[in-house]
Each structure stands twice: as structure tokens, then as C-alpha cells.
């Protein structure tokens, strides 16, 4: 498990470098697909099975398909790589190295590892809590013999059940607010991407003097309705 | 069995992803890639949250990571809608060129 996790973490770092430094946008998107897929593997290793499924469905499924669709729709030109001598790039690399070093040193030295933990106290860290449960026989003789991913001590009822209990009891108000957020985002996306042809766009209650030059198309508007039946209706609405 | 000695490496990867995403936001000029770098930063936060959740035997980090995923999905929807809007009014997709808000 440790070797698997180390390999996946290294691959995540490499594919994230591909996201930032690919000159073509589509390569950045495909690198991001790889990154979020490997992060899902890390979630599975870390006993977050529900987030593993959500990560694959929402990120690798929905969000990345949206990205690839938009790239195909907009066809962005490729961008030259940042030059190595660019001082901003050197500053960024220095910042990455500094912050990573600080995080690593803090994580190595700032956390006290429990060396012996025989009770199920809340201060027990993950591995020792599982170990103590295995010692009492609560998880069977060898809890890891049948399945490679060990049951987290907190996940004994099942990861989805535990998360649902938290989401629908403790955090039910934030959960409902996220539904409102998704509704607002959907309405905003529909509003932003609606068609803007003249004759269809204008609300008759809005006066013509309120023309918004940012909203005007660069080219002259194409006539939408044929000259026969549609045009008088459009004219009458205005 | 996952060794606890792996936990600092998980945090190191999360910090690396976050700073790399911030660097990408600063040096890339294509707004689509800028959005992808923001996704990278949000994923780094998710990795740190789930790592701490597993390390501390607490499921609350996973709840917060779920919320972060929801917010990221909403952000992508609105952001890509804005980009298609900018493209449809005939502007070039370049964050150095789209600077009306600075004036």
C-alpha cells in the first residue's frame, strides 16, 4: 500500500506539471483528467470510498467533459511556453520549493505520533486505532487479510453511511445551501450563454436607449426570422 | 496497511499541487488553463482534507471535501459560461487582453 501510494503521488505531481506547462490547452485538460483520476485512487487508499466515486463522477466525468467540450467549441490557440529566464517563473518555482519544504517539515515535526495506544481514545491516530481494534478482536483475526484496503476505525458502519449521517444531521444546513448554490450556478450559466440575436434578445419592457455596447456582437446581427411569418411577430413584440 | 509515515508525503503533494496551481494561474494567459489551475488548487485542498480525515480518524474532512467538490462544479459551470460569452462577443481568449475591470 505504501509503495502504491508513493507511486500514485509521484504520478500526480508529474501530471500536474503537465497541466501547467503544456502549450496546448487540450493537453492541459487531458493531464488534469489524469490528475483527478489519480487523486481518486489516493482517496480510495485513504478509505474515502464515497469521495472516490464522487471524484470520478463529478470531476473526471462531468467537469472534464465540460472542459473538453468548451475547448472544442472555442478552439483556443496554442500558447508559447513561459521562457525559463522569465524572473516570474523563477520566483514561482522558488515559492513552490519553499512552501513544499515548509509543509513537509511541519508535517514531519509538528505532529506527535502516538507510540503506544491501547484504548480507543479519541486522541488515537488512525493506524493505532485500527490496531487496537484488531487487538481486541473487533475486526476479526486479521482484518486486512481479505481486502487490501483496511477498514478505517471511523468507517465501521461504512463510509457512505457515516458521511450521510454527517451530511444529513450535523451539516444539513450547509448541504441545503449547496443545493441553492447549484441552482444559482445553473441559472447563471443559462443566462450567460443564452442567444443574443436582435429581435429575440430584447425584452419589450426594456427601452432601446439601454443598449449595452459590451453585449453587442462584433459583426452585424444575422436576421433570425424569415421575411414571411416570423418577422411581423418579432416586430410586433418590439 | 497504510503507514503513518506516508502522511507527510500526502501533505507535501497537496502543497505542491496548490503552489503549482497558483503558479499556473499567474503565468498562463489562456483563461481555460487558468480555470484548470484553479481546479488543481481545489483538488490539492481536497487531498489535504481527506488525508487529515484518514489520519485523524474523523469523517468531517470528507464532508468538507464533498462541499469543496460541489463549489468547484458550480464555479466551473459559471466560469465556462462566462468564457463562451466572452468568445461569442468576438473577444480573444487572453487574460492579458480582458482587462476592462482594471480601468
The string of pLDDT tens digits covering residues B6-24 is 888 898 999 999 999 998 8
pLDDT more than 90, % of chain A: 29
For residue A76, is pLDDT > 70?
Answer: yes
> What pLDDT is stored for residue A118 in this prediction?
45
Give me the CATH number covering residue A36: 1.20.120.1200
Say how many domains are in chain A.
Answer: 1
Distance CA A114, CA A93 (A): 35
pLDDT in tens, B27-81: 888 899 999 999 999 999 999 999 888 877 788 889 999 999 999 999 999 999 9
State the residue range of the domain holding B34.
29-90
Of A159, A88, A111, whose CA–CA distance to B58 is shortest?
Answer: A159
Cα–Cα dist B46/A39, whole Å: 9
| Cβ contact A133:A120 at 8 Å | yes
Query: Within a domain: residue A23?
Result: yes
Residue B16 lies in a domain: no
Taking CA atoms, A109 is separated from A96, A104, A106, B7, B17, in Å, by 20, 9, 5, 12, 21
* Cβ within 8 Å of residue B38, ≥6 positions away: B21, B25, B75
Average pLDDT over residues A16-21: 92
Q: Could you tell me what percentage of chain B is helix, strand and coil, using 3-state DSSP and rounding each to the nearest 5?
A: 80, 0, 20
Average pLDDT, rounded, for chain A? 72
Q: Is residue B95 part of a domain?
A: no
Q: Which residue range(s) make up the domain with A45? A: 1-80
Residue A185 has pLDDT above 80, yes or no: yes
Q: Does residue A52 belong to any structural domain of this protein?
A: yes
Instruction: Give the closest of A19, A54, A108 to B69, CB-based.
Output: A54
Q: Do the domain assignments include residue B101?
A: no
Among the partner-chain residues A5, A32, A108, the one whose CB lies closest to the CB of B8 is A108
Residue of B nearest to A143 (CA): B1
pLDDT of A216 strictly over 70: no
Residue A38 within any structural domain of the chain: yes
ipTM of this predicted complex? 0.92
Question: Does residue B4 form part of some domain?
Answer: no
Chain A residues within an 8 Å CB radius of B16: 13, 16, 96, 100
What's the pLDDT tens digit per position in A20-54? 988 888 999 999 999 999 999 999 888 888 999 99
Indicate the number of domains in chain B.
Answer: 1
* A176: contact with B, CB 8 A cutoff: no
From chain B residues 47-76, the ones with a CB under 8 A of any chain A CB are 47, 50-51, 53-60, 62-63, 65-67, 69-76
Q: Which of A167, A220, A5, A16 is nearest to B60 (CA)?
A: A167
- Is pTM, for the whole model, over 0.80? no
Task: Say if A56 falls within a structural domain.
Answer: yes
- pLDDT value, residue A160: 85
B95–chain A Cβ distance below 8 A for any pair: no
Query: Nearest CA to CA, how far is B2 from chain A (Å)?
Result: 6
Q: Is residue B102 part of a domain?
A: no
Query: Residue A137: left if φ>0, alpha if ψ -120 to 50, beta else—which one?
Result: left
**Chain A nearest C-alpha distance from B50 (Å):** 7
Q: Is residue A154 domain-resident?
A: no
- What is the per-residue pLDDT for A209? 57
Amino acid at each position: 500500500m505504501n509503495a502504491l501510494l508513493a507511486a500514485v503521488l509521484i504520478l500526480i505531481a508529474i501530471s500536474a506539471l503537465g497541466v501547467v506547462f503544456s502549450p496546448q490547452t487540450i493537453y492541459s485538460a487531458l493531464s488534469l483528467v489524469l490528475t483527478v483520476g489519480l487523486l481518486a485512487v489516493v482517496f480510495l487508499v485513504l478509505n474515502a470510498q464515497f469521495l472516490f466515486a464522487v471524484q470520478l463522477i463529478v470531476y473526471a466525468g462531468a467537469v472534464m467533459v465540460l472542459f473538453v467540450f468548451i475547448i472544442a467549441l472555442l478552439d483556443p490557440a496554442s500558447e508559447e511556453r513561459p521562457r525559463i529566464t522569465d524572473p516570474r517563473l523563477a520566483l514561482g518555482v522558488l515559492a513552490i520549493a519553499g512552501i513544499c519544504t515548509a509543509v513537509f517539515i511541519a508535517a514531519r515535526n509538528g505532529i506527535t505520533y502516538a507510540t503506544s495506544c491501547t484504548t480507543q481514545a479519541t486522541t488515537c491516530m488512525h493506524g493505532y486505532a485500527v490496531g487496537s481494534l484488531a487487538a481486541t478482536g473487533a475486526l476479526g483475526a486479521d482484518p486486512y487479510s481479505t481486502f487490501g484496503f483496511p477498514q478505517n476505525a471511523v468507517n465501521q458502519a461504512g463510509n457512505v453511511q457515516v458521511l450521510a449521517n454527517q451530511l444529513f444531521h450535523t451539516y444539513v444546513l450547509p448541504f441545503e445551501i449547496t443545493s441553492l448554490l447549484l441552482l444559482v450556478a445553473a441559472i447563471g450559466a443559462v443566462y450567460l450563454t443564452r442567444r443574443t440575436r436582435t429581435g429575440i434578445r430584447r425584452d419589450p419592457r426594456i427601452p432601446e436607449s439601454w443598449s449595452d455596447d459590451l453585449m453587442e456582437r462584433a459583426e452585424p446581427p444575422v436576421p433570425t426570422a424569415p421575411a414571411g411569418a416570423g418577422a411581423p411577430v418579432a416586430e410586433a413584440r418590439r | 496497511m497504510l503507514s503513518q509515515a506516508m502522511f507527510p508525503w500526502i501533505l507535501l503533494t497537496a502543497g505542491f499541487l496548490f503552489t503549482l496551481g497558483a503558479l499556473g494561474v499567474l503565468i498562463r494567459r489562456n483563461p481555460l488553463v487558468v480555470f484548470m489551475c484553479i481546479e488543481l488548487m481545489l483538488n490539492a485542498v481536497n487531498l489535504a482534507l481527506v488525508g487529515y480525515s484518514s489520519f485523524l480518524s474523523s469523517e468531517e474532512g470528507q464532508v468538507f471535501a464533498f462541499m469543496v467538490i460541489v463549489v468547484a462544479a458550480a464555479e466551473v459551470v459559471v466560469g465556462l459560461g462566462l468564457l463562451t460569452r466572452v468568445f461569442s462577443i468576438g473577444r480573444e481568449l487572453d487574460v492579458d487582453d480582458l482587462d476592462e475591470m482594471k480601468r
